[in-house]
Amino acid sequence: MIEIKGLSKSFAYDKKEAKKKKNKAATDPREGEGVFHAVRDVSFQCGKGKVLGLLGPNGAGKTTTLRMLSTALEPTSGEILINGHDVTKELRYAQKLIGFLSGKTGLYHRLTVRENVEYFGRMHGLSKQLMDERIDKIFSMLDMHTFAGKRADDLSTGMMQRASIARAVIHDPKVLVFDEPTTGLDVISAKTVLDFIESYKETEMSVIFSTHHLHEVERLCDEVCLIDLGETKFYGSTQNFASQTPSGNLYDAFLANVNNKEKEVA
């Protein structure tokens, strides 16, 4: 179980940005004195065996939120608890339990896919036997055996993404945090990734992933957290989210919950 309570993250403006903002009235509620409040108040939780979809228009604060969950960024305020343990205070404990997939693959281009995954497995202290078992299982789930010996810089986008996922889950994390895992993938690779996430529903894991694709939410998510301008605007079951509008569809519910004038959704 992962709980996020009143999370916020502010970034100091660089000199150029600070100069631009000086003496100008703020047009965005996230603009503060010398800082930009990218995430202002985000709260949700994701129980064992549940999948939560993190939604929001471009720039809403999804990636920043997920980076905090992954421990890559330290929150300005708020709490992230895994099984009651505070992630910021028990970093090692949290890093063992979290598997993070970000937009950047983080693979070593000169190493083969298998070498890459083994490297991250060793960093997590996996024994050779456990590593081989895990690799065999994950590579089968993600249909990776055919390109396990290829160097990372020879991979297609879809292969690269699957290798990055294998890398993120080699240590058998209990909480998966995936940032837009299907962005840029063709239909077949996207299906492999979605099937993989779906398979986790049968386990005790919690999965949180951000997406702009509402059909993915419909298929996979038990719960939805929609953020806009850095704040949680809706958190609850996917069913309750959809039933907020007369049409009962996720697309209309999304539009009804965002203030952002552009109301972008892919």
Ligand X SMILES: Nc1ncnc2c1ncn2[C@@H]1O[C@H](COP(=O)(O)OP(=O)(O)OP(=O)(O)O)[C@@H](O)[C@H]1O
List contacts with ligand X (CB under 6 A): 11, 36, 38, 56, 58-64
134 to 120, 128, 165, 172, 177: CA distances (angstroms): 12, 10, 13, 8, 19
Question: Shortest approach of ligand X to residue 56 CB, angstroms?
Answer: 5
Task: Count CA atoms within 13 Å of residue 17 on its CB side.
Answer: 11
Question: Shortest approach of ligand X to residue 183 CB, angstroms?
Answer: 9
Question: Shortest approach of ligand X to residue 77 CB, angstroms?
Answer: 16
Measured from the CB atom, the residue of 16 and 92 that comes closer to ligand X is 16
Question: Shortest approach of ligand X to residue 54 CB, angstroms?
Answer: 8
Contact 164, 113 (CB under 8 A): no
Task: Report the C-alpha gap between 255 and 38 in whole angstroms.
Answer: 21
Measured from the CB atom, the residue of 10 and 45 that comes closer to ligand X is 10
Measured from the CB atom, the residue of 12 and 123 that comes closer to ligand X is 12
- Select from 113, 203, 123, 125 the least CA-distant residue to 165: 113
Task: Report the C-alpha gap between 223 and 159 in whole angstroms.
Answer: 29
Measured from the CB atom, the residue of 64 and 238 that comes closer to ligand X is 64
